[in-house]
């Protein structure tokens, strides 16, 4: 086992030197070494990845082996992924849709082991795409099952299913249903901003018109799509649209318009991003155009471009037919009839294998021309007759489809008209009742609104009245409080203060020094309390000096360091207002001393043109203003706010825990 793994890793390490062929050879050899079945599955997975874009036959072979082995190992979801990837190469490149259906059916036989909605819905979607070339009705049935198995999250796959079901409906002549599906696909792709897929869906709608002979409708829709492509800057799609328009002009017999559209397709082809098959189709059409006019030199230029292309165009059968037809046309024009006949016959064989009626008809018609040039008139007539039969069949079907389309439109319009008439009758019958109901509803709403407005107005008046009463009470309480403080302060100063002075004078003669000291201390305490209750120096010295004295006393008698910048605000306010300003500063400083645990503070009073600004800052512990204000015990902040309202000012508190506090009071002059 270790030896086998060593060989495997050596192969990977040397892959840049050996190149791709060495990769495939060594991997193939490794797959044949005796391994466990799980290891073989991993090896097959590597081989599939290596051959996916280089060797279709090898890719198909290894994928089929992988699906079979994964089922044997009960890896059903892994088998489902590879079966989904197999459908396109089997159906489109190898023209073997039945084999694709068989592989998918083998996985669906054990679908109960698939939990992924994207995989289960994807299996039905891919089986429907394979069935499109076998039986359109079976394809539609598969698409319906895909819808049932996709989840809401699989929006892009749902859009893809709408797109392919729309094409199936179109092939059956059910154009209204086809249009609905294609428009749904377009809308989903647009909402998901998958603009390339959105353009493809719109191309499906346009091609539906073109295939059934509605060339003018197709042209108008295509012109609108070209403008959309330009707005979205998806210019790599332009060459495809101009080529499709050239094909329609060819069917209409307008050669000049066809040539102009082909030149626009060449001009807008993006070598990096545009579909490579479009390059082949454009230049193949130009070879045919120039050959019909015997412009051999110009035709040869475009044929050489096709001969020298660096990408594989021959896996797409329709592109292969276009390329071979152009080559045969050039040989016919230059007189190499036998070589032209062989290639034209090859085109017919490919067209028959993919059941493309347009290509079968064109191949028979081309063979008829070659046989005529070779003077094999019987074969020419037979080929021409075969082409005519197919042309008649296509014409009859197109006519029937056109009739079905217009009948469907007519029936739809007729049903819509009947529905409108019924709706009108019902509307007329219900009109009176509806008017009455509306009147009742609007009347009721008006009454409710009026009642609500009255209640709101009364509540607003009541709230405003309560607020005014509360503010008035608070202001009167502050005034009353200040009067009471003044009375108590006066009593302390004139009563107890004077008695203490008498006691002091008597003790000077008879008392001991300790008792004298106690009396002095008591006198100072009484004076301090008296000053706090009512600062008499406010009236004597003015509010500015009173504030400065308070700051100085706090600075001298406490551990708090206070700095100040105070403008003179004397005589700017009434006496009552000055008292409130003093109290604001005093109470703010008191709060700092009691609660802030601050080391320093600053008081600033600045005069401006229309107001003064008082700022009191500390570097203390800070607090949450909302919590403090809601606290019923925290009367300090509420008192400050009431004093500010009394002064018709504004109070702002800026505080954060551990980052100090800033109180700002803006008072109008």
Question: In this structure, what CATH number is given to the domain that contains residue 598?
Answer: 3.30.565.10
pLDDT value at residue 448: 87
Q: pLDDT of 452-504, one tens digit each? A: 888 887 888 777 777 666 666 666 655 666 666 666 655 555 556 556 656 66
Burial class (CB in 10 A: 0-12, 13-18, 19+), 190: middle
Q: Which residues contact 387 (CB under 8 A, 6 or more apart)?
A: 361, 362, 364, 365, 368
Residue 16 has pLDDT above 80, yes or no: no
Residue 15 has pLDDT above 70, yes or no: no
Both structure tokens of 292: 């019909």
Answer whether residue 619 is part of any domain.
yes
Q: Using DSSP, state whether 652 is helix, strand or coil.
A: strand
- Mean pLDDT along residues 165-189: 85
Better-predicted residue by pLDDT, 67 or 213:
67
Burial 382-415 (b: 16+ CB within 10 A, else e): ebbebbeebbeebeeeeeebeebbeebeeeeeee
Answer whether residue 553 is part of any domain.
yes
pLDDT value at residue 12: 39
Q: pLDDT of 295-311, one tens digit each? A: 999 999 998 988 887 65
pLDDT value at residue 69: 93
Q: What percentage of the chain exceeds 90 in pLDDT?
A: 26
- Mean pLDDT along residues 360-384: 89
Number of compact structural domains in the chain: 1
pLDDT value at residue 394: 67
Asked if 385 and 371 count as a contact pair (C-beta separation under 8 A), the reply is no
Is residue 22 very low, low, confident or very high in pLDDT (cuts 50, 70, 90)?
Answer: very low
pLDDT value at residue 664: 92
Better-predicted residue by pLDDT, 406 or 180:
180
Answer whether residue 173 is part of any domain.
no
Answer whether residue 612 is part of any domain.
yes
Q: pLDDT of 645-667, one tens digit each? A: 888 899 998 888 878 899 999 99
Helix (H) or strand (E) holding 614: strand 611-618
Residue 89 has pLDDT above 70, yes or no: yes
Q: In the predicted model, what is the mean pLDDT of the chain?
A: 80
Q: Using a CB cutoff of 8 Å and minimum separation of 24, what contacts does 157-161 make?
A: 157/118, 157/121, 157/122, 157/125, 158/188, 159/184, 159/185, 159/188, 159/189, 159/192, 159/194, 159/197, 159/201, 160/125, 160/185, 160/197, 161/121, 161/125, 161/128
Answer whether residue 398 is part of any domain.
no
pLDDT value at residue 420: 62
Residue 26 has pLDDT above 60, yes or no: no
114 C-beta neighbours (distance < 10 Å), count: 20
Q: Which residue in the block uniquely carries the two structure tokens 């018709």?
A: 648
Residue 590 has pLDDT above 90, yes or no: no
Is residue 141 very low, low, confident or very high in pLDDT (cuts 50, 70, 90)?
Answer: very high
The DSSP output letter for 574 is -
Sheet with strand 600-607: strands edge to edge: 561-566, 600-607, 611-618, 661-668, 650-655
Answer whether residue 634 is part of any domain.
yes
- CA–CA dist 348, 363 (Å, integer): 5
Asked if 287 and 306 count as a contact pair (C-beta separation under 8 A), the reply is yes
Q: pLDDT of 408-466, one tens digit each? A: 555 555 555 666 666 666 666 667 677 777 778 887 888 888 888 888 878 887 777 77
pLDDT value at residue 62: 92
pLDDT value at residue 108: 92
248 C-beta neighbours (distance < 10 Å), count: 23
- CA–CA dist 605, 586 (Å, integer): 13
Answer whether residue 641 is part of any domain.
yes
- Mean pLDDT along residues 149-178: 87
475 C-beta neighbours (distance < 10 Å), count: 16
- Mean pLDDT along residues 128-138: 88
Residue 511 has pLDDT above 90, yes or no: no
Both structure tokens of 182: 């294609």
Q: pLDDT of 306-354, one tens digit each? A: 888 765 555 577 888 889 999 999 999 999 999 999 998 999 888 887 7
Residue 222 has pLDDT above 50, yes or no: yes
pLDDT value at residue 78: 92
Both structure tokens of 176: 């209204």
Structural domain harbouring 589:
541-668
Answer whether residue 555 is part of any domain.
yes
- Mean pLDDT along residues 114-137: 91
- Mean pLDDT along residues 153-174: 88
pLDDT value at residue 540: 73
The DSSP output letter for 311 is S
Residue 11 has pLDDT above 50, yes or no: no
Instruction: Read off the pTM.
Output: 0.53
């Amino acid at each position: 086992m270790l030896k086998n793994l060593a060989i495997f890793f050596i192969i990977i390490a040397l892959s840049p030197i050996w190149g791709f062929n060495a990769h495939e050879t060594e991997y193939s050899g490794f797959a044949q070494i005796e391994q466990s079945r799980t290891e073989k599955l991993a090896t097959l997975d590597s081989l599939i990845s290596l051959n996916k874009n280089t060797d279709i036959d090898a890719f198909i072979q290894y994928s089929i082996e992988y699906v079979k082995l994964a089922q044997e190992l009960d890896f059903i979801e892994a088998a489902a992924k590879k079966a989904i990837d197999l459908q396109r190469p089997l159906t489109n490149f190898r023209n073997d849709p039945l084999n694709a259906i068989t592989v998918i059916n083998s996985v669906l036989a054990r679908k109960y082991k698939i939990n992924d909605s994207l995989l289960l819905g994807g299996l039905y979607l891919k089986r429907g795409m394979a069935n499109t070339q076998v039986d359109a009705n079976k394809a539609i049935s598969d698409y319906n099952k895909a819808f049932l198995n996709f989840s809401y999250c699989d929006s892009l796959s749902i859009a893809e299913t709408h797109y392919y079901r729309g094409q199936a409906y179109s092939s059956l002549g059910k154009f209204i249903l086809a249009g609905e599906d294609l428009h749904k696909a377009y809308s989903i792709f647009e909402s998901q901003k998958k603009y390339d897929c959105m353009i493809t869906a719109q191309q499906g709608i346009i091609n539906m018109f073109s295939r059934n002979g509605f060339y003018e409708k197709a042209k108008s829709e295509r012109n609108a799509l070209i403008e959309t492509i330009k707005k979205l800057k998806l210019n790599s799609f332009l060459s495809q649209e101009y080529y499709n328009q050239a094909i329609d002009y060819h069917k209409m017999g307008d050669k000049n318009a066809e040539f102009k559209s082909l030149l626009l397709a060449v001009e807008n082809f993006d070598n990096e991003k545009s579909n490579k098959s479009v390059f082949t189709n454009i230049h193949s059409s130009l070879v045919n155009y120039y050959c019909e006019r015997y412009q051999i030199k110009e035709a040869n230029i475009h044929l050489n471009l096709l001969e020298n292309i660096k990408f594989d165009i021959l896996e797409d059968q329709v592109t292969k037919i276009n390329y071979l037809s152009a080559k045969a046309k050039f040989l016919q024009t230059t007189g190499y009839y036998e070589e032209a006949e062989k290639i034209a016959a090859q085109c017919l064989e490919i067209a028959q294998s993919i059941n493309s009626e347009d290509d079968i008809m064109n191949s028979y018609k081309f063979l008829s021309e070659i046989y005529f040039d070779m003077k094999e008139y019987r074969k020419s007539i037979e080929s021409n007759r075969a082409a005519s039969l197919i042309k008649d069949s296509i014409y009859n079907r197109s006519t029937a489809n056109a009739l079905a389309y217009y009948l469907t439109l007519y029936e739809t319009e007729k049903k819509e008209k009947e529905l409108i008439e019924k709706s009108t009758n019902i509307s007329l019958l219900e009109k009176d009742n509806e008017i009455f109901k509306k009147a009742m509803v609007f009347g009721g709403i008006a009454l409710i609104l009026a009642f609500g407005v009255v209640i709101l107005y009364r509540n607003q008046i009541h709230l405003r009245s309560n607020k005014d009463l509360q503010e008035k009470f608070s202001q009167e309480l502050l005034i009353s409080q200040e009067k009471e403080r003044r009375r108590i302060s006066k009593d302390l100063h004139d009563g107890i203060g004077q008695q203490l002075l008498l006691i002091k004078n008597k003790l000077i003669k008879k008392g001991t020094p300790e008792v004298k000291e106690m009396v002095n201390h008591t006198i100072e305490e009484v004076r301090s309390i008296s000053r706090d209750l009512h600062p008499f120096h406010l009236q004597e010295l003015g509010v500015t000096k009173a504030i400065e004295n308070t700051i100085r006393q706090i600075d001298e008698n406490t551990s708090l360091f206070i700095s100040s910048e105070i403008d003179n605000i004397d005589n700017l306010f009434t006496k009552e207002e000055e008292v409130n300003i003093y109290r604001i500063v005093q109470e703010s400083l008191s709060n700092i001393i009691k609660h802030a645990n601050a080391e320093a503070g600053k008081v600033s009073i600045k005069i401006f043109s229309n107001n003064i600004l008082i700022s009191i800052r500390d570097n203390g512990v800070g607090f949450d203003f909302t919590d403090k204000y809601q606290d019923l015990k925290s009367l300090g902040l509420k008192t400050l706010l009431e004093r500010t309202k009394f002064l018709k000012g504004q109070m702002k508190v800026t505080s954060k825990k551990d980052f100090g506090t800033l109180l700002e009071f803006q008072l109008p002059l």
